[in-house]
Amino acid sequence: MEQKKIYLDDLEIPRQWYNILADLPAPMNPPLHPATGKPVGPDDLAAIFPMPLIEQEVTPERWVPIPDEVLEKYLLWRPSPLCRARNFEKVLNAPVKIYYKNEGVSPPGSHKPNTAVAQAYYNKISGTKRLCTETGAGQWGSALSMACNMFGLDCRVFMVKVSYEQKPYRRLMMQTWGSECIPSPSNITNAGRNVLAKNPDSPGSLGIAISEAIEEAVTHPGSKYSLGSVLNHVLLHQTVIGLEAQRQFEKIGVYPDVVIGCAGGGSNFAGISLPYVRDKIHGKQVRIVASEPTSCPTLTKGPFAYDFGDIARTTPLLAMFTLGHDFVPEAIHAGGLRYHGMAPIVSHLLKIGLIEARAFNQIETFDAGVKWARTEGFIPAPETNHAIAAVVEEAKKAREEGKEKVILFNFSGHGIIDLPAYDAFMSGRLEVHDLPQNEIDRALRAIEKHPKPR
């Protein structure tokens, strides 16, 4: 009998998050105020975020303490197990050892509560009464709903309409934790009404939903906005995943050759990989691969440019890989990967060559996901299937090269609420949506006049 899971005891949980800003070999382009073209300061963000999170957004400290109140909630499901996928290895028939960090064990079933709990806590101690947010596939909205409920905050979630309709159970989950869930575009904000006026049948997008949530927050006293990915402080909170993985690997004396995560806004990918990027900066041999959909190929097809995080252009200009802030991707099932941009930290790391990016179409990813479910048991989220598709590709390369390889990937969430997507795949109803270059070119025209990053 061989060991499959490496646990950490509760008291071995990391007490600090890791901040990669302290270790970057080249400085990042700062976020810019769209009106002045100057870097934004803390005051520019104070209308939507509480001060402790604004401080975390820019802190140069390498290690940020995790408050006891946050650790206490983490322990409901963390540390998450590091698991060896021995059965999946067998069907791949390649010289690889595959480990995964199972973030599906959290109550909402994904990595998202790692930052949701932290954000709810910092808002609570800053006097916030209600949080407003957007959600794609619903993973983020349900995580924030749970977190707000735990700290006694109200919560309103704008959910991308196509996912709201595809995934009714996510809405029910949010309501069970006591929050409100509204399909976006909605008619309760100017941003939503503007989109509906142009296209009453809009399937929505994360960009639109972000605009609605920000508008709702800034127009209601006591309300703040909360973002589930992209920003530095969100990625910071997620590093607990990679830090745990490093401790777990230390216990068995293993170090991965490749670290893989799927990338939508970038937070689960950053969560598992940033502690390894740090090692790489310090000379360690490790490849780090972000996996994204061909229908929304931000990292693999987009330019590195200054762009808005949302369609209504309410955010600062962020230096990132982007398909243009008014790009609305096809309604693929991996709703969490339908974002036009990418976390500035992740974008910066790709630009300076510390990470790689790969894109896979829906059918490739579900093929990998069903293989996984039929060997390892757990049914992965459609987003997670992108990471698994990249694992399959790495295993194939290892077989061709005859080279042994240890692969670590982030199992960012389970797919129990996404079963209709599996149904569509298995009955041949799933479509491939490779994005043609001319559509990308068209989308990018909207950002031609933005300032240029270094």
Residues in the site for a copy of itself, rule: CB under 8 A?
1-5, 7, 9-11, 68, 71-73, 75-77, 83, 87, 105-107, 109, 113, 146, 149-150, 169, 172-173, 175-178, 370, 373-379, 416-417, 419-420, 422-423, 426
CA distance 61 to 30: 17
Residues belonging to the chain: 454
Note whether 262 and 291 are within 8 A (CB).
yes
- The DSSP code sequence of 14-61 is -SEEE-GGGT-SSPPPPPB-TTT-SBP-HHHHTTTS-HHHHHHHH---
CB 194: neighbour CB atoms within 10 A? 14
When the beta carbons of 149 and 194 are compared against a copy of itself, the nearer one is 149
Kindly tell me which of 105 and 392 has the beta carbon lying closer to a copy of itself: 105
- Which residue, 87 or 126, is less far from a copy of itself as judged by CB? 87
Which helix (H) or strand (E) segment is 169 a member of? helix 168-176
Tell me how far, at minimum, the Cβ of 13 lies from a copy of itself, in Å. 8
- Residue whose entry in the numeric block shows the structure tokens 């604004």: 54
Give 250 or 439: the residue with its C-beta nearer to a copy of itself. 250
Q: Which is nearer to a copy of itself, 71 or 286 (CB)?
A: 71
* C-beta closer to a copy of itself: residue 64 or 214: 64
Question: Could you tell me if residue 109 is left (phi over 0), alpha (psi between -120 and 50 degrees) or otherwise beta?
Answer: left
**Min. distance of Cβ 171 from a copy of itself in angstroms?**
9
CB 435 within 8 A of CB 295: yes
Under 8 Å between Cβ of 284 and 23: no
Cis, bond preceding 453 (omega within 30 deg of 0): no
Task: Give the nearest distance from C-beta 187 to a copy of itself in angstroms.
Answer: 23
- Least distance from C-beta 120 to a copy of itself, angstroms? 12
Shortest distance, position 116 Cβ to a copy of itself, whole Å: 11
- Nearest distance, CB of residue 12 and a copy of itself, angstroms: 10
Region of 253 (left: φ > 0; alpha: ψ -120 to 50; beta: rest) is: left
Give least dist CB 1 to a copy of itself, A: 5
- Measured CA to CA in angstroms, residue 290 lies from 134, 137, 305, 446 at distances of 23, 19, 19, 26
Q: How many CB atoms lie within 10 A of CB 120?
A: 28
Give me the least distance between CB of 378 and a copy of itself, in Å please. Answer: 5
Q: Which residue has the tokens 């691969």?
A: 289
**Which residue, among 291, 325, 279, has the nearest Cα to 412 in the 3D structure?**
291
Least gap, CB of 304 to a copy of itself (angstroms): 39
| Least CB distance to a copy of itself at residue 105 (A) | 6
Are 192 and 164 in contact by the 8 Å Cβ rule? The answer is no
Is 226 strand, coil or helix?
Answer: coil
Helix/strand/coil for 441: helix
Contact 446/32 with Cβ under 8 angstroms? no
